[in-house]
Amino acid sequence: MRNFPESSAVTPDCRSSLRYLFWLAGQFRVPILLGALAGIACIVAQALIPAAIGVAIDDGIIARDQPALLWWGAAILGLGVVQALTGLMQDRYGLTASLGAAYRTLQLVTARAARLGGTLRKQASTGEVVSVGVADITQLGAALETTGRFAGAVVVIIVVAGIMLATSWQLGVVVLVGVPVMVWAVGLLLRPLHGRQQHLRDQQAELTTHAVDISSGLRVLRGIGGEAQFSHRYRQMSQRVRGAGVRVAGVEAALDAAKTFLPGLLLVTVVWLGAGSVLDGRLSVGQLVAFYGYAVFLATPLRRVADGADQFTRGNVAAARVIRLLNIEPEHASGTTPLPDGPAELVDPDAGLRVQPGRFVAVACATPSDAALLADRLGRHTGTTATFGGVPLRDAPLEQVRARILVATNEDRLFDGPLRNELDPADRSDGLRAVIEASSSSDIIEMLPDGLDQTVVGGGQEFSGGQRQRLRLARALQADPDVLVLVEPTSAVDAHTEARVAQRLRQARAGRTTVVFTTSPIMLNAADRVAVVVEGRVVGEGTYPGLRGDARYRPIVAREDEA
């Protein structure tokens, strides 16, 4: 079993698709080299069989020499055994290189996606990421797997041409001229195939993105009557993908026809010239049989050369899509100034917001966009001048910021798998029941047949919006960060449940810093202090009862009451 180092221990060459392919090949040079050697031995052994048959006919059958016939018969058997054994080795090493290349690329893509976080969604579509993770990595593996057969095909063409030149230079010249002409003709078809495959892959990625959007928002689409419209758009896009696939298939059909017709034309030419040489006495019957065998045999290595070029072209297209993903850089680089230990004040000078350590602070924003932007700045998910204990977040190591300050929003999703693992990904176990109680999620767990062992599917689509909110809150509480930033954590729950969540949240986070962006009177009333934000700036602070007389605060809360 091959052991793979962590992705952080390797640096891929992403300057171009070809460079990435060569770098990937270098990562698995041993199985590729052994596969190439096995492939060469396999097909050379197969190529020598026609020569052995020709000699057996001349020296054994025509000369009526039984020992020679037995000897050459044994030689043919030995060549067959060598071909079988080396063929197995070729397949084994080829599969090792294929799976290894696919796994290494998947490892790099996954690590990059985890590092990019929210940047990935801004720079690449869901369909593109899915396409890379499913189709492109497989194609890269196929491109490396074919190297053994390709190397063997090239070597055997040279060996067969040499044998034929030594036996009959005229037929040897035909082969030496015919092979490059066929490769050139096939190459003419590979260029348009490359472009059409790239276009098809882009169309497939776009269609996949649309399908993901429909499946994730099906409940909403049905509620607003948009299901038929999105279905119509999906059919239109599907037809475009079908058209692109047909255009690719047209070039592939022409390529397959060329790979069959051109070797056949060479076969007819060699047999016709060889028959004339036998009649003129320049070739023996055995040599003619050998030449015929070579002409038939050459169709296989020639097809392998064409297939290898085709797979390499597909691999080049796949590599281009992979390196595009690997070349995406995070929006914000990690700093080097460590954050102070222990509780500290969190400040956003642009908004004028100051959050004292250990306090439960609610922020009421006049517009939801201000709440989302300010929360992102406090968690350093966007450009920010915010500080923690006087240290600018932009200068701190990103992993420290993520460990100390957690931002939880309603855009966060539940992942597929056991609910226990979803609520407690760090497997802390201690306190899980307490955070379930604090988020008022006990009734959700109790109604599930398997409780915490219930498998979540489809991003938690089996739960209502309010239930998903409470489960996300439980997950955030279980993480137990120094600073917890929540954005409208109770917007989808009823008033009674919200009152329980507000009171229990305050108790669960006692002594820890909690910032809740909300316009709910129930949640605002539970806070130690309320900050009012209008047009991105704090315009007032105080307790919930004390702010009732603030003319800028009343419309925000009144709007929530009316809703």
449 CB neighbour count, 10 Å cutoff: 6
159 CB neighbour count, 10 Å cutoff: 16
Any domain includes 253: yes
CATH number at residue 471: 3.40.50.300
Question: Domain end: 280, 298, 326, which one?
Answer: 326
Any domain includes 6: no
Check whether residue 73 and residue 158 sit in a common domain.
Answer: yes
Cα separation, 21 vs 137, in Å, equals: 11
pTM here is: 0.61
Any domain includes 390: yes
- In the prediction, which pLDDT does 221 show? 46
Check whether residue 223 and residue 296 sit in a common domain.
Answer: yes
Any domain includes 333: no
Check whether residue 104 and residue 223 sit in a common domain.
Answer: yes
Any domain includes 339: no
Extract the tokens encoding 448. Answer: 């599930």
**Structural domains of the chain, count:** 2
User: Which range of residues forms the domain containing residue 242?
Assistant: 12-326
Cα separation, 277 vs 131, in Å, equals: 56
Any domain includes 338: no
Check whether residue 292 and residue 400 sit in a common domain.
Answer: no
Check whether residue 65 and residue 201 sit in a common domain.
Answer: yes
Assess contact for 512 and 404: CB atoms under 8 A. no
354 class by beta-carbon count within 10 Å (0-12 exposed, 13-18 middle, 19+ buried)? middle
Any domain includes 313: yes
Query: What are the residues facing 364 on neighbouring strands?
Result: 532
Check whether residue 235 and residue 87 sit in a common domain.
Answer: yes
Check whether residue 93 and residue 152 sit in a common domain.
Answer: yes
Assess contact for 327 and 91: CB atoms under 8 A. no
Assess contact for 344 and 483: CB atoms under 8 A. no
Please enumerate in sequence order all residues whose Cβ is within 8 A of that of 328, keeping only pairs 6 or more positions apart, or say none.
Answer: 112, 116, 119, 120, 123, 124
- In the prediction, which pLDDT does 217 show? 54
Question: Domain end: 295, 326, 357, which one?
Answer: 326
5 CB neighbour count, 10 Å cutoff: 10
Check whether residue 289 and residue 181 sit in a common domain.
Answer: yes
The angle at the Cα of 479, spanning 473 to 482, to the nearest 5 degrees, equals 105
Any domain includes 341: no
CATH number at residue 289: 1.20.1560.10
Check whether residue 301 and residue 379 sit in a common domain.
Answer: no
- In the prediction, which pLDDT does 176 show? 67
Check whether residue 159 and residue 113 sit in a common domain.
Answer: yes
Q: Which amino acid is at 112?
A: R
Check whether residue 178 and residue 92 sit in a common domain.
Answer: yes
With the C-alpha atoms ordered 415, 419, 422, 423, is the resulting torsion angle positive or negative?
A: positive
Cα separation, 98 vs 101, in Å, equals: 5
48 CB neighbour count, 10 Å cutoff: 21
Check whether residue 389 and residue 419 sit in a common domain.
Answer: yes
Question: Residue 76's Cα: distance from chain center in Å?
Answer: 47
pLDDT by 10-residue block (mean), the chain, 563 residues: 57 87 88 87 82 80 82 88 88 87 87 76 71 80 84 81 76 72 71 69 69 56 57 78 81 78 76 76 74 71 78 85 84 84 94 95 93 93 91 92 92 85 80 91 91 84 88 93 94 91 94 94 93 93 87 74 48
